[in-house]
Amino acid sequence: MLAATAARTSAEDPLSGLELGEHPDPEPPPGWEVVRVRAASLNHHDLWTLRGVGIDRDRLPIVLGCDAAGLTAEGREVIVHAVISTPGAAEDETLAPDSSILSERYDGTHAELVAVPQRNLLDKPPALSFAEAACLPTAWLTAYRMLFTKGELRAGRTVLIQGAGGGVATAAILLGRAAGLRIWVASRDPAKGERAVELGAHAAFEAGERLPERVDCVLETVGEATWRHSLRSVVQGGTIVVAGATSGFDPPAELQHVFFRQLRVVGATMGTRSELAHLVTMLSTTGVRPVVDSTIPLSLALDAYARLAQGDNFGKLVLTVDADG
């Protein structure tokens, strides 16, 4: 099968380890099923893997990609839940001791075929295209968990989203607006801020700009470049939900702000199968749909990864596989 793999890792030049070519077809163990991929989105997790973060070198080469929507052998249209863990190991599978996501221990979704546990398959609603459905298991599920599970946000609350334009950010704008939240975004790119407002954000600010008032919650996926601003932008007793650090992992902690103002700093990673099912239902009932920046054939995956690394996309980049492929 055709697949995009991490053959090597390089912190300085991550794309140098990306290879596109033939890879052995999956051989699923008992209880697993092979899905013929129709669409698979890209995430910054894929670039971190190529940098060598979160991957053991003895697992290379490994097929990249966390998200997919496709068809089972029986023709069932499915969405793939990317979190793999032993059933019953924890009530929340993201906290199970053996929890991982596709492309960490098991081959991922940037291929014509992917093998996953049968329990990880959810029915794709007919109203969602394969490309739209493929955006949900990582970025959209993470945004849902950040807003409603970890952020505990309810209608009328104000949330600041750091870094407009990425997959998690665009998902949070659309989901938060549908849930009755007041949505503010901050971005170093004015054009992306304007597009965020067109998408549904109530206001956009320059990165680091002082806000008119403090917010109830900040969604933080940028890291070092925005951490100071996040600490100063949240109300006393407010919450900062962290689910990534694309600009770096080690900002000054500034702990005085955390304990004097009694802030909650909460981590979020992916989400549960149950949360993914709730997310799918929310999209079905509200009509909200993922923002797809562009769809790119799997055969041009190298170009798609280059675009992701450049950071000039707004919404999700999605790899597609021909129905006859």
Domains of the chain: 2-135+290-320 (3.90.180.10), 142-267 (3.40.50.720)
Q: Is 263 left (phi over 0), alpha (psi -120 to 50) or beta?
A: beta
pLDDT more than 90, % of the chain: 87
Element (H, E) at 100: strand 100-101
pLDDT of residue 325: 44
Residue 235: left if φ>0, alpha if ψ -120 to 50, beta else—which one? beta
User: pLDDT at position 324, please?
Assistant: 52
Cis peptide before 297 (omega within 30 of 0): no
CA separation for the pair 284, 127 (Å, rounded)? 7
With a CB cutoff of 8 Å and minimum separation 6, the contacts of 254 are: 227, 228, 231
Q: Quick one: tokens of 31?
A: 């209880």
> What six digits make up the tokens of 208?
């680091």
Please state, in angstroms and rounded to a whole number, the distance separating the CA atoms of residues 190 and 105.
39
User: How many residues comprise the chain?
Assistant: 325
Identify the weakest region by mean pLDDT among 75-79, 142-146, 290-294. Answer: 290-294
Name the packing angle between helices 167-178 and 273-286 (round to 10°): 60
Q: pTM of the entire structure?
A: 0.93
pLDDT digits 0-9 by tens, 55-108: 988 999 999 999 999 999 999 999 999 999 988 888 899 999 999 999 999 999
**pLDDT at 16 exceeding the cut of 80:** yes
Alpha-carbon distance values, 285 to 34, 130, 281 (Å): 29, 18, 6
Angle at 231 between CA 227 and CA 232, to 5 degrees: 120
Give the pLDDT band (50/70/90) at residue 167: confident
